[in-house]
């Protein structure tokens, strides 16, 4: 009788070793973001598109001023994301990892500021 091979998803094996809401992994030469909660994937190009949408919304909310911190909920609303949704979280994580945003705490909650790199990306 032949043994049956059972494959375990990588996040079950390495989940505790890499604590993160979203992880970038290479799957068959294709960069993907993997969500811990639901195991869904979004191709990196899609994450970049979502990230640029969020970056433009943050720039509009801050009126183009890199010194202005903007609440994450306001940016999500302007970019037409549900605050805390998987798409919002993936876009935000992408922008933070690329250095286009930096986190900032203000009274009222989680806020972000656009970096000079983020302004350069928008200018392209």
Domains and CATH numbers, the chain: 45-123 (1.10.10.10)
Confidence band of 3 (pLDDT split at 50, 70, 90): low
pTM above threshold 0.85: no
How far apart are the C-alpha atoms of 51 and 2, rounded to whole Å? 48
What mean pLDDT is predicted for residues 2-14? 49
Provide the pairing of β-strand 101-106 with 109-114: antiparallel
pLDDT of residue 5: 52
Asked whether residue 47 carries a pLDDT value surpassing 60, the answer given is: yes
d(CA 79, CA 93): 15
Kindly state the tokens that stand for 106.
Answer: 């203000």
Q: How far is it, in rounded angstroms, from Cα 23 to Cα 97?
A: 11
Q: Which of 61, 56, 75 is closest to 121 using CA atoms? A: 56
Length of the chain in residues, anyone? 124
Average pLDDT of the segment spanning 58-72: 91
């Amino acid at each position: 009788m032949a043994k049956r091979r059972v494959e375990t998803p990588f996040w079950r094996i390495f989940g505790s070793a890499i604590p993160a809401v979203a992880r970038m992994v290479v799957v068959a030469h294709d960069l993907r973001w993997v969500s811990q909660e639901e195991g869904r994937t979004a191709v990196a190009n899609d994450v970049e598109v979502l990230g640029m949408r969020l970056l433009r919304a943050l720039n509009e909310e801050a009126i183009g001023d890199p010194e202005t911190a903007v609440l994450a909920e306001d940016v999500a609303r302007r970019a037409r994301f549900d605050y805390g949704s998987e798409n919002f979280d993936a876009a935000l994580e992408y922008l933070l990892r690329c250095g286009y945003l930096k986190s900032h705490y203000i009274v009222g909650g989680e806020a972000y500021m656009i970096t000079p790199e983020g302004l350069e990306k928008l200018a392209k």
